[in-house]
Amino acid sequence: MMFNRMFACAVVCALFFGSVCASDLTPEQIEAYATKAVEDFDVTGLAITVVSKDSTIFQKVYGVRDVRTQQPIDENTIFPFASIGKAFTTTALAMLVDEGKLDWDDPVRKYIPEFEMSDPYITAEFSVRDLVTHRSGLPPGAGDLLVFPDANPEVSDILAAIKHIPPTTSFRSEYAYDNLLYVVAGDVLSRIDGRPWHKVIEARIFKPLKMKSCEALPSKAAASKNTVTQHLRDTTTWAAEPINPVYIIGDNVSPAGGLSCSITDLSKWAQFWLNNATTPSGQRLLSESQAREVWTGVTPQGGGGIMAELGGSHLSIYGLGWGLRDFHGKLLASHSGGVLGGSSYFGVLPEADTAVFVMSNVSTYASSALALQLLSDAASSDANSDWLGRLFAIASGRKTAMQKDSGDSDGEDAVKDVAVEPARALDDYVGAYLDPWYGLVSIEIRAGALFIDMSRSQALDATLIPVAPDKFVARWPDRTLNADAYVIFSVEDDQVTGMTMEAVSDTTDFSFDFHDLKFTKNQ
């Protein structure tokens, strides 16, 4: 009977894991938190599962797939869950280690001879482990403008670009999150296995776990009959708007975060990790040593902040596709995920026999807030940590800043960037500008004003408004991107010689890494 099973679970958890276990999170409690998250954050759609090793404690969906059609989400509706999918790439790589086909510390050039970083020593030493642990020395989000918001580069394009991105720290000295190196890791996986990355993930993970709804390619997920539409907020009205379909992440970038699954199938993925990388049928997909390896910390992330305040965390370290930290005295293995128009969070508390997965089809703090609230209560019943309240306050402050910096707000503090007279004739700025890793950008005159064409992106084309001597602002036509940029021209001997860029707002996602661009004007 259910009562006896839950009672037995409580006894076992008390004996082996302390006083808290998954059954202490009641469906009523979870429902109350989920409802509050959906309402407070005005979430378009949300899916949640809370599991223990042998059962689903709670699973439910809320809202609609698309604000235009109002079609309801069901438990088989697939969502993109972005960077949480990095763990699928590292899991498949770990399988190759078990098979003796790969060592984590093998140099990348053993499998991709054309791989090259900016420094010959780093190129020679760069390992497969380095690809997946964010310690390359490159800046955060390095090269993401090759992908965001609407580009779909070939792997060869990424390999060609990486060697031209200058490091900002020494090799392996600091944590800096990246995506492009996970694409390279996916290419390593594909070259060793002999199949395209998506075929490897389907055969090695989806099939044995019976994750039938899942799609490894974003294009296939977008074409599914039961998939969500991603939504972004209009900075003026704050209404959730469907994204331009070109913003869906490209298939070639999928190893860094292009997977989509239903919440029903992600409950299987969650239980897989609570059961030490074993399927419900008893099939072990990873050896015990490799299951431990992917949860072994490599790159320190520092401490403090909200995790220390609300989660009692002292240390945080990145493993192989997982963030690892102490959380109210217990191990938390977790990862967040964000794409344009979607947010997610996955956390596993093995000592509390609890895993939580939350996804939403709008860019929001709600997924992280809800997941961390539940994980906090599961880790310590007396924690009294108000994750929902704190992250709602942070989200509200971010909303105010976004609206102010967009220039679209009517508030007194809105950054309007009043136009001034250009410091020189517009023809002086016109030309082709080359950045070593990004490529060419064109500055033209259209309708009597300067115009920037970012070449790799249809969305990042805009009129340039002069706001200071040799400084212009690009207000991109799509006001949901929150990525407006300043363009600053360099001048030597009264000649325009190049330009740099920087985001207008501190709230702009780091994947819009304009600050890493340094253009030279072709004379």
CA 278 vs CA 240, 271, 291, 503: distances in Å = 39, 9, 10, 45
279-305 burial: b if 16+ Cβ within 10 Å, else e: eeeeeebbeeebbebbbebbbebeeee
What pLDDT is recorded for position 382?
A: 87
Q: Taking phi first (over 0 means left), then psi (-120 to 50 degrees means alpha), and beta for anything else, what does residue 209 get?
A: alpha
440 phi, psi to nearest 5 deg: -90, 140
Architecture of domain 22-380+387-403: 3-Layer(aba) Sandwich (3.40)
Q: How many angstroms separate the CA atoms of 269 and 267, rounded?
A: 5
| Residue 387 confidence (pLDDT) above 60 | yes
432-472 pLDDT, tens digit each: 999 999 999 999 999 999 999 999 999 999 999 999 999 99
DSSP H stretches of helix in 251-324: 263-274, 288-294, 305-311
Q: Is the peptide bond before 245 cis (omega within 30 degrees of 0)?
A: no
Q: Which tens digit of pLDDT belongs to each residue from 80-123?
A: 999 999 999 999 999 999 999 999 999 999 999 999 999 999 99
How far is the CA of 114 from the CAs of 131, 187, 195, in angstroms?
A: 15, 12, 19
211 three-class SS: coil
Instruction: Write down the domain spans for the chain.
Output: 22-380+387-403, 426-521
Taking 70 as the threshold, does the pLDDT of residue 220 lie above it? Answer: yes
- Answer yes or no: is pLDDT of 419 > 80: no
Q: How much is the average pLDDT of 397-410?
A: 87
Report the alpha-carbon distance of residue 200 to residue 136 in Å, rounded.
26
Query: Would you state the pLDDT for residue 24?
Result: 81
Query: Whose CA is closest to 94, among 223, 200, 11, 207?
Result: 200
3-state secondary structure of 465: strand
What is the share, in percent, of the chain residues with pLDDT greater than 90?
90
Report the amino acid identity of residue 468: A
238 pLDDT higher than 90:
yes
Contact (Cβ atoms closer than 8 angstroms) between residue 23 and residue 50: no
Vertex 248 angle, CA 484 and 355, to 5°: 105
* Between 7 and 192, residue with greater pLDDT: 192
**DSSP bridge partners of 46:** 62, 360
Residue 494, pLDDT above cutoff 80: yes
3: pLDDT strictly greater than 80: no
pLDDT (mean) for 518-523: 93
pLDDT band at 304 (very low <50, low <70, confident <90, very high): confident
Mean pLDDT over 383-395 rounds to: 96
Q: What is the CA radius of gyration of the chain?
A: 24
CA distances from 488 to 190, 439, 473, 483, 485 (A): 41, 17, 9, 16, 10
- The CATH-assigned architecture of domain 426-521 is Beta Barrel (2.40)
CA–CA distances in Å: residue 212 to residues 30, 90, 260, 263, 265: 26, 21, 11, 11, 7
